[in-house]
Chains A and B, each alone.
Chain A
């Protein structure tokens, strides 16, 4: 991975076309499909499959930002999402009597803020380590927070967690209605995706990729490498928190199980399967993960396995991706495109 992954150079001949005209046709097609999906899709598809895909994609995106651009593999992102989700349940109204029941316009900013503080402190601990040790430290923090929520009843309501955590009825809309929730999560995912693409070519984003490729040289250019890495954790928390808050609303509840070790690892699987090099990767990975989880019961049933074994399929898929295409499904797509292009070029050359 190198800074060159940003194919569009920062400078280069100044583009005459507006940014709207520069969007490739395939993206318009995806946009149309996503916008009009509620016309054909049923509630289960909109709410469970697509809603969950967007949420998991956003949490995966925060990992992609740290790992792909910053070279820091963090297992903490589900926990950051969980902190934001828990804050919504604790500070806002819920079915549990430890909730404070504050108004949404206090609760949501507070959830983002507290999750960002949590991510910054954890990041400050993690960035002093490299490689496997970053994974270990972030996993340790994730595990500590999981056990803490399970044992603490005065704030986190322990094992049972919070139920009846509902989104505010803003503009008179029930945001848990499948179509409304679909558009809400689609809008959030699009915003997060766009933010990551934009930031990747800002001074901060470029410098983050420089830190990934050659930290010593970056220090010799005047960059505080540690501060840059910690800031990346803080920034990534915004994407994870957005996913976390939507997750609580989608499930209408949060409990320690939501943020357990297996959930933390699922986020890594999602991001790696989709591809860590580009912001689109985690969303592709999330879609594959959700489809497998939803439909593997039927497939497994054919072979006489129980539906609980769907992680077997995901595990095998993960193994195949890591072995054959370490840069994820998106890299497979790239390779296929390159081969098609090469064949086309050969044909035009062959034709008289």
Chain B
């Protein structure tokens, strides 16, 4: 679709600094829905700038794990630290303001707004202008940041179109732009490649690998070709528990993993 983004441009996104210790630390996270444990006793730590895939079959608890990390659900038990700070009971917006970002499995955009307005809202959300009653001027700094993000996800030509009119793949790219607003330090990507064409997948890989080094992420992805090319470590989940951790090549060759996941008819 487009050429890979120049790294110089991508490096302008986010000036968040990598602190000492882990970017994200989960200890004994459990989430019960009634008597059903969606995830149980998940302990996981991710270094700043580390890129990790979370794999597992449907119902393994991957998205529930994301919802606990972002604060959409409060975990039934366990502790979540974000860059050393205990954020276990923080509301979602407080975590986002500290540099956590996420995309959604099903595109969750403002369909009636233009592409640039969607990204602008995301930039406003992590700025101090959230309550501003003054309309942005053409030279507005946040608008400038929004324009840069639109370029970074290869949507420059669609900038003024309504999001509802965009092709599905373009909406997924926009999801990523929203997740990179402000100064992201750590991003959760929930199946960003789902429903994309092979060309669009290549494009997505370019976008992910071009992210500045200090931005770490966790990616949930069914497509192994995408997932294993953009990460340095892999966590396998099964029935709400961590099943195996390792480097992408080890996981790919692991017979147990192949039995459970790759051979399980998921394609």
Contacts and interface: CB of A to CB of B under 8 A. Distances in A.
B9 interface: no
A9 B138 contact: no
A214 B125 CA distance: 14
Interface in B84-117: 91-93, 96-97, 102, 104, 108-114, 116-117
B93 A202 contact: no
B136 A4 contact: no
B70 A220 contact: yes
B167 interface: no
Contacts of B70: 220
A213 B91 contact: no
B117 A206 contact: yes
Given A3-B110, A224-B93, A202 B133 contact: yes
A216 B106 CA distance: 13
A223 B117 contact: no
Given A206-B117, A220-B70, A214 B108 contact: yes
B181 interface: yes
A222 interface: yes
B72 interface: yes
A223 B72 contact: no
Contacts of A231: 131
Interface residues of B, number: 41
A13 B121 CA distance: 18
Given A204-B133, A221-B181, A231-B131, A9 B126 contact: no
A169 B97 CA distance: 51
B111 A2 contact: yes
A12 interface: yes
A339 interface: no
Contacts of A225: 93
Contacts of B182: 222
Interface in A196-250: 198-199, 201-207, 210, 213-214, 216-225, 228, 231
A207 to B, nearest CB: 6
Interface string B143-160: 100000000000000011
A5 interface: yes
Contacts of B83: none
B74 interface: no
Given A201-B135, A203-B124, A203-B132, A219 B160 contact: no
Contact of A222 (B111, B126, B131, B134): B126
A222 to B, nearest CB: 4
Residue of B93, B143, B160 ringed by the most chain A CB atoms within 10 A: B93
Contacts of B91: 219, 224
Given A4-B112, A4-B113, A220-B96, A204 B131 contact: yes
A14 interface: yes
B133 A213 contact: no
B266 interface: no
Contacts of A210: 110, 121
A22 to B, nearest CB: 14
Q: How large is the interface on A (under 10, 10 to 19, 20 to 34, 35 or more residues)?
A: 20 to 34
Contacts of B181: 221
B205 interface: no
A219 B93 contact: yes
A9 B117 contact: yes
Nearest to A199: B133
Contacts of A5: 112
A221 B102 CA distance: 9
B42 interface: no
Given A219-B91, A220-B96, A223-B130, A203 B136 contact: yes
B136 A10 contact: yes
A11 interface: yes
Max chain B Cβ within 10 angstroms of own Cβ: one of A3, A218, A222: A222
Nearest to A201: B135
Given A202-B132, A203-B132, A204-B132, A223 B114 contact: no
B162 interface: yes
B96 A222 contact: yes
Given A204-B130, A204-B131, A223-B93, 10 more contacts: A2-B112, A4-B111, A9-B114, A10-B114, A10-B135, A10-B136, A202-B132, A214-B108, A221-B122, A222-B122
11 contacts: A11-B116, A11-B136, A11-B160, A12-B114, A203-B133, A217-B109, A220-B92, A220-B104, A221-B126, A222-B93, A223-B130
Interface of B: 70, 72, 91-93, 96-97, 102, 104, 108-114, 116-117, 120-122, 124-126, 129-136, 138, 143, 159-160, 162, 164, 178, 181-182
